[in-house]
Amino acid sequence: MDDHVVAQAIDLTKVYGDADNRVLALDHVNVEFERGQMTAIMGPSGSGKSTLMHCMAGLDQPTSGKVIVEGLEVSAMNQRQLTKLRREQIGFIFQSFNLVPTLSAEENILLPLQIAKKPIDRAWFKQVVSVVGLEHRLKHRPSQLSGGQQQRVACARAMMARPSVIFADEPTGNLDSHSSREVLGFLKQSVQQYGQSIVMVTHDPRAASYADRVLVLADGNITQDLRHPSYDRILEVFADEGNEDGDAEPNA
């Protein structure tokens, strides 16, 4: 794998169900994700976008083909190896935030490092917290934070371990337009300032317009690969694809 590639899918196939109820979620997908870029994955429900991301992040096992992250074959790893990979190389941001309600914002951000028994780099913590604008909310619990603030806590948590790549699953799906802009602005800043690599699943053309690259999936195949597309261009492609907004489903 080239140095400029942080993650790669090779002939990736995922089938759900049995012979009587077979769903081909990914159909021999080949794609490289470039280092230091923000890539958006779009498509209607059932197109394969969430399945692709879950396989890339080691959260789902492909039926065949390979997933490689930082030169390591994720698809061949056992659970212990996958756990180590997620702690060291992969960050994940969930649509539902997945914060621990009894912990403060600071404790949620540091939790993965503490579970992994890794030293806490306080200078980096201060920097990340400053970027997400949470300096005065660190002692607050999730219930005391807005949706946008909770998602920024989740973003900071994903950044703390300095992963090679962050996978974000509909990171603005539960947010209003103002909070969405805040979170997307942070993700874009983390790419531009820190060289972070981000792969984001979204059905929102405006969110996708923040990305350097937009992949469009349909029926388990990549049908469009757009570089630095404008919001209008993304809308145009969506219209051509006949897409409608919709939340990701288990076989998405």
The CA distance from 66 to 10, in Å, is 5
The answer to the question of residue 252 being in a domain is no
Tell me the mean pLDDT in the region 222-251.
Answer: 71
The answer to the question of residue 224 being in a domain is yes
Q: Which of 111, 112, 12, 102 is nearest to 66 (CA)?
A: 12
**Which pLDDT score, from 0 to 100, does residue 96 have?**
85
pLDDT band of 131, cuts 50, 70, 90: confident
Q: What is the pTM of this model?
A: 0.88
The answer to the question of residue 72 being in a domain is no
The answer to the question of residue 6 being in a domain is no
How is the chain split among helix, strand and coil, in percent rounded to 5?
35, 25, 40
The CA distance from 143 to 184, in Å, is 22
The answer to the question of residue 45 being in a domain is yes
**Which pLDDT score, from 0 to 100, does residue 247 have?**
38
What CATH number does residue 214 fall under? 3.40.50.300
Compute CA distances 33 → 21, 53, 194, 228, 232, whole Å.
32, 11, 17, 14, 24
The answer to the question of residue 110 being in a domain is yes
Tokens 């942080």 found at: 6
Q: How far apart are the first and last CA of the chain?
A: 27
The CA distance from 96 to 50, in Å, is 15
Q: What percent of the chain has pLDDT over 90?
A: 60
Beta carbons of 165 and 199 less than 8 angstroms apart: yes
Task: Give the residue numbers spanning the domain of 107.
Answer: 35-58+78-241
Look at the chain and report how many structural domains it folds into.
Answer: 1
**Which pLDDT score, from 0 to 100, does residue 1 have?**
67
The answer to the question of residue 1 being in a domain is no
The answer to the question of residue 28 being in a domain is no
Tokens 């807005």 found at: 146
Tell me the mean pLDDT in the region 153-178.
Answer: 90
Tell me the mean pLDDT in the region 3-25.
Answer: 91
